[in-house]
Amino acid sequence: MRFVQYFRKATPNVSELGIRVGQEIINIKSIDRKYPNNLVQLLAEHQNAIEDLERGNLAEIKERVAMSEVELDAPLKNPDKVICVGMNYKDHCEEQNAPVPVEPIFFSKFASNIIGPFDPIHYPSVSKQLDWEVELAFVIGKKGKNIPAEKAMEHVLGYTVAHDVSARDWQFNKNGGQWLLGKAMDDFCPIGPEIVTKEELTDPHSLAIRCTVNGEVKQNSNTAQLVHKVDAIVAFLSKIVTLLPGDIILTGTPPGVGVFQKPPVFLNRGDIVECQIEDIGTIRNEII
């Protein structure tokens, strides 16, 4: 299944949750009126919803809306946690002449940083070094603590594309070396265009991943380069914090970011960044 959050063009202030089937969307309430119109609430309040939806026959649902009649929002909003993994691609470590981390390195963003797949990114007035980072993100579907690696995938709902926008001057040269402020400014977490469940995307570790700026390819790799895989990340994190339904975890970026080019290259107002992952989709955000 492919979950989308959307606004009908006829009712632009009403956000709805749906399942995309081809070029149409089935609204979640058309399937069952008890379901809420956002994914975090659905996962938290209806533990068996995903299994019930998978067992159902979506072909029988006649009430649908065409993709051409909607605007897509971020497929998930207001999670309890937005957690990011740093230095998690082998080829990205090589790019920096840095050792491959034995344990995953974590930092975080705020839930309010999340914006839609085609929303603009406002260039922060306090930074002069805005950088791009395409990332595979996954969503927790079931609460868990101290999850063994062999059971980790039972707690994963699915996957989406994320853009880990970074203010490098703040990440590396300010705030006492803490990454938080350089990673968590407004608009610094576009995601989408949808969440693809793990039943549909069975191998997240063999996907082409790339980022373009104004049509020029900047990053071009494969999730096979991930150092710490999804199951290992879930197992490690759940020893530290309880993972909750809707938590979103960004898994790291491949080589090609601007800060490590010689000389460094950064984003400007008017630039268009596209982040794409095979079998999931593309998000496109203009810097304004």
> What CATH number corresponds to the domain at position 187?
3.90.850.10
Determine the pLDDT at residue 83: 98
- Helix, strand, coil abundance in the chain, percent, nearest 5: 25, 35, 40
Nearest by Cα to 194 from 222, 231, 157: 157
Place of tokens 């009649």: 69
Q: Which pLDDT value is given to residue 59?
A: 85
53 plus 161 within the same structural domain = no
For the chain, 288 residues long, give each residue's pLDDT as a single digit of tens: 999 999 999 898 999 999 999 999 999 999 999 999 999 999 999 989 999 998 888 888 888 999 999 999 999 999 999 999 999 998 888 888 788 889 999 999 999 999 999 999 999 999 999 999 999 999 999 999 999 999 999 999 999 999 999 999 999 999 998 999 999 999 999 999 999 999 999 999 999 999 999 999 999 999 999 999 999 999 999 999 999 999 999 999 999 999 999 999 999 999 999 999 999 999 999 999
SS3 (DSSP) at 71: strand
Q: Which domain covers residue 237, as residue numbers? A: 82-286
Q: Please indicate, yes or no, whether residues 68 and 170 belong to a single structural domain of this protein.
A: no
38 lies in the same domain as 96: no
Angle at the Cα of 95 from the Cα atoms of 93 and 100, rounded to 5 degrees:
15
Q: Are residues 168 and 239 in the same domain?
A: yes
DSSP symbol at 61: -
Q: Are 68 and 87 contained in the same domain? A: no
Cβ(198)–Cβ(159) below 8 Å:
yes
Task: Give the pLDDT score at 45.
Answer: 94
Give the integer Cα–Cα distance in Å for 166 and 121: 11
The predicted structure's pLDDT at residue 20: 97
Same domain, 27 and 145: no
Q: Are residues 88 and 60 in the same domain?
A: no
Picking from 12, 44, 73, the residue at the C-terminal end of a domain is 73
Best CA proximity match to 285, nearest among 108, 163, 194, 168: 163
In this structure, the answer to whether residues 86 and 229 fall within a common structural domain is: yes
Same domain, 133 and 234: yes
pTM equals 0.96
Number of structural domains (the chain) is 2
Quick one: pLDDT at residue 99?
Answer: 86
Number of Cβ atoms within 10 Å of the Cβ of 89: 25
pLDDT given at position 62: 86
Same domain as 25, residue 130: no
Are both 110 and 13 inside the same structural domain? no
Output the pLDDT for position 3: 98
Domain boundary among 73, 101, 125: 73
Say if residue 43 is in the same domain as residue 68. Answer: yes
